[in-house]
Structure 1
Amino acid sequence: MTTQSDLAADATSVVSPASQPPDARARLLLAVGVIALALNLRPSIIAVSPMLNLIRHDTGMSTAVAGLLTTLPLLCFGLLAPIAPWLARRCGIESVLCATMVAVCVGTAIRDVPSMPALLGGTVVIGAGIAVANVLIPAIIKRDCGPDIGLMMGLYSMSLSIGAALAAGVTVPLARAAHTDWRTTLALWGWLAAAALVAWVPQLRRQRRRQPARTSPATQPVRGMWTHPVAWLVTAFMGLQSFGYYATTAYLPSILIDAGLSAGEAGWMLSLANLLGIVAAFVAPTLAVRAGRPGLLAVLVATLTASGLAGLIFAPASFAYGWILLLGLGQVAAFSLALLLIVLRTPDGRHAAQLSSMAQCCGYLLAAAGPLAIGAVRQASGGWSAPLVVLLILLVPQTVVGLGAARSRYAAPDSRISQN
């Protein structure tokens, strides 16, 4: 059984004192920088969804092409995740994270150009920047935050949820208030990334003071991660929870509309699930570290999610707010736990970057397939019960691999430290 002392060792071992922020001011600046980066990892992508009908009407694009605007980023997240550790070793993790925000700024500017290639190309540039940041932020938290890992992972996960909820709820009112067209409205999110660049400047200065030599262990690649059983447990948990989350998010409004709710109420339910997720995103990793029971959390998030899915099967309209509450808490807490497991199951930032790239590569590729697979089940069955049952069944292996990944041991194939 994993204990609190086990998790404390997870959080602090094999992190040299020189790699940790030396004082409270440095820790605060790092926290502000991480939050600023995290706030930018969803808005430029999610902001497209509430504007999608307007985009289609203005450009004349087909439904399939419109779907690319939401699936391209997920493909980028998966396909480009493996290059992130290499970039961090070559250029320094702080510099690469700065470059990811530059990519978001440039991508939003490209999308402001009135052409279809610019719209799709800018989306790819944004997705590439976010893909690399997704991988490296958990790694820098592992490297620099020591015993504050649970708190920092909670702040990181919460900021992701806040960014998503902000983009979903503010984009259309922002366009109306500013009297801008959809291109300019989407481009406005680039200013949030520009603000993150300013917040990240202290980390660039710190990198110049502590740049490791090219022969330092910190610059050497991790070998054997893709064959390590612990790494695959973490990856499987990331993939299964991502599959369920993105499949549910894609079809939740349709499920509720078919159950008799209005389109407006169904859309509000989806926003509510994201808002509830903000609380779960912060609380889940913090409690998991403090209580020393990540395995218990893996069971709890599956139970909450299963209850919400079962409710949607048997009584979707009569207690809709209750089912959304359970889903919002369960699925977002599962995502936070997946990120936390990446840092708990690695001994240092170098291994965390490699495991993060592996887990997110497989996880987001599986996530991109989720809406397609569940949509196919819906088409074949003619209703929503069968797709929801599939998602329920997948919670069983998710829980099993979550319990396995929660055991206190490292995915460190090239390190003499394999467990606490």
Structure 2
Amino acid sequence: MSSARSALLYAGFVLAALNLRPALAGLSPLLDEIMTDVGLTPPQGGAITTVMVLCLGLFGWLTPFLARRTGLDRTLLAGLLLLAVGVLVRAADGAPALYLGAALAGTAIAVMNVAMPGVVKQHFPDRVGPWTSVYVSALVVGAGAGAALMVPLERLTGYGWREVSALAAVPALAAALLWLPQALRRPQDGTDSRGAPPWGADSRGADSRGPAPAVRARPFAALLRSGTTWWVTAFMGLQSLTFYIMLAWLPTIFQDAGLPADQAGYLLSLTNLAQVGATFTVPVHAGRRLSQVPHVVASSLLTIAGYVGVLAAPTTVPWLWMIVLGLGQGASLALALLIITQRAPDPASVTALSAVAQSFGYVLAALGPLLIGLLRQESGGWTVPLLAGVAACVVQAVTGVRAARPHLTASGGRSTAART
């Protein structure tokens, strides 16, 4: 591959990853203004984000079918273009356009979420760990930037929420432009149009017997019969659930403990910043091992320690609890996506496993903040809800250990993790 083509591939991949969260995370800082302008009640305003998160779970299933017909690269391009359309529609006048645009943007993110592990497997089969690290870190950075820049952009430009939120279409279109050469070129790397290597070759091009041809043609059939699939799915869902619990309720917990609102917001930002450190380093180290069990245990223990710190002493060194929590949550997310990539033998199977794990996982995750809110209402405090969160972290660790063990892949082949 020429240096120019490599540069386009790397730049397009990173910019696509940066687009996975700003349209979602950038909505919260503008929500009060949106509700006032459109005339929405608080539940109706919250429903905008709910629509997007539900779409993450409901429409990830589209990705394997699109990839089978058009290829992974074109599927990712379609997701970027749909994302740009969605954020523009969301900024149009009226509540129907607001919800329709949110649904379109959520569907686009769902497609890209599921496609990215397969894209890593297809373009970087010998560097799965490092490139998983790159894309998950870009995802986290994109989320933080989306949340942090909306209000300053309003003040800087003088625009309202419609114009500022519509600016999220710009990086999506830029990523689509950079990714266009990948989508247009014909496969020349030994993969077929679905991103699967020819029969008899494994993910690194070595001759092997591999799974049966029927697995290649119908990856879902094999995946849904595999216990590995459901352990991976459970780990993906539970680490998302324990993350979204804190994302939704952490500022309120700190405020109820007596901290001012601005400090509570800074602490939430700190935990997001700490996640970047974990997402950038953990996949590189864990990807070199056949088993990721020690990494899963360590990340779960860090997450549990963060929960316990917030529960026991929310106003005592809260910055320390946020760093610990962020390291645990960032590592858990990175490991979940790395395990998806390593537990299937080729890009087509990775995409199918990603669809199963992320679709069920995000539906499960959407329930977390709601259940914690109900426990808070019934118990009258945060002890019971946070203990429930700790229990979820323990189950997360158990399922993660089962998913991270070296064994047969979800589609019947051997794990592709390599010891280096």
- Fold conserved between structures, TM > 0.5: yes
Amino acid corresponding to residue 238 of structure 2 in structure 1 = L
Partner of 2:106: 127
Determine helix, strand or coil for the equivalent of 2:127.
helix
Amino acid corresponding to residue 227 of structure 1 in structure 2 = R
Determine helix, strand or coil for the equivalent of 2:287.
helix
Conserved in 2, the CA contact under 8 Å of 1:108 and 1:189? yes
Partner of 1:206: 185
Partner of 1:363: 361
Higher helix content, 1 or 2 = 1
Conserved in 1, the CA contact under 8 Å of 2:73 and 2:183? yes
Is residue 319 of structure 1 aligned with residue 313 of structure 2? no
Any stretches of 5+ residues in structure 1 without a counterpart? 1-21
Cα displacement (A) at 1:194:
1.0
Amino acid corresponding to residue 340 of structure 1 in structure 2 = L
Of residues 63, 82, 90 in structure 1, which corresponds to 2:61? 82
Conserved in 2, the CA contact under 8 Å of 1:377 and 1:387? yes
- Equivalent-residue separation in structure 1 for 2:17 and 2:415 (angstroms): 30
Of residues 209, 217, 228 in structure 2, which corresponds to 1:220? 217
1:81-126 Cα shifts (integer Å, max 9, x gaps): 1121011001111111111111111111112211110111011110
Partner of 1:286: 284
Conserved in 2, the CA contact under 8 Å of 1:234 and 1:405? yes
- Equivalent-residue separation in structure 2 for 1:291 and 1:229 (angstroms): 21
Conserved in 2, the CA contact under 8 Å of 1:244 and 1:391? yes
Q: 1:288 to 1:213 in 2, by over 3 A?
A: closer
Amino acid corresponding to residue 144 of structure 1 in structure 2 = H
- Equivalent-residue separation in structure 2 for 1:24 and 1:412 (angstroms): 35
Is residue 54 of structure 1 aligned with residue 33 of structure 2? yes
TM-score, reference length from structure 2:
0.90
- Equivalent-residue separation in structure 1 for 2:192 and 2:59 (angstroms): 25
1:214-243 Cα shifts (integer Å, max 9, x gaps): 997797331221221011111010011011
Cα displacement (A) at 1:186:
0.2
Determine helix, strand or coil for the equivalent of 2:324.
helix
Of residues 22, 42, 52 in structure 2, which corresponds to 1:73? 52
CA RMSD for the aligned pairs? 1.9
Any stretches of 5+ residues in structure 2 without a counterpart? 200-212
Cα displacement (A) at 1:412:
4.0
Conserved in 1, the CA contact under 8 Å of 2:70 and 2:193? no
1:124-169 Cα shifts (integer Å, max 9, x gaps): 1101111000001101111221221100000000000010010111
- The aligned length equals 397
- Equivalent-residue separation in structure 2 for 1:196 and 1:390 (angstroms): 40
1:331-388 Cα shifts (integer Å, max 9, x gaps): 1110111000001111111110110000001110011111101111111111011111
Identity of aligned residues (%): 38
Partner of 1:261: 259
- Equivalent-residue separation in structure 2 for 1:412 and 1:45 (angstroms): 30
Partner of 2:204: none
Q: 1:66 to 1:117 in 2, by over 3 A?
A: same
1:8-35 Cα shifts (integer Å, max 9, x gaps): xxxxxxxxxxxxxx46654443332221
Amino acid corresponding to residue 136 of structure 1 in structure 2 = A
Is residue 388 of structure 1 aligned with residue 377 of structure 2? no
Deviates more, 1:359-368 or 1:64-73: 64-73
Q: 1:306 to 1:54 in 2, by over 3 A?
A: same
Determine helix, strand or coil for the equivalent of 2:93.
coil
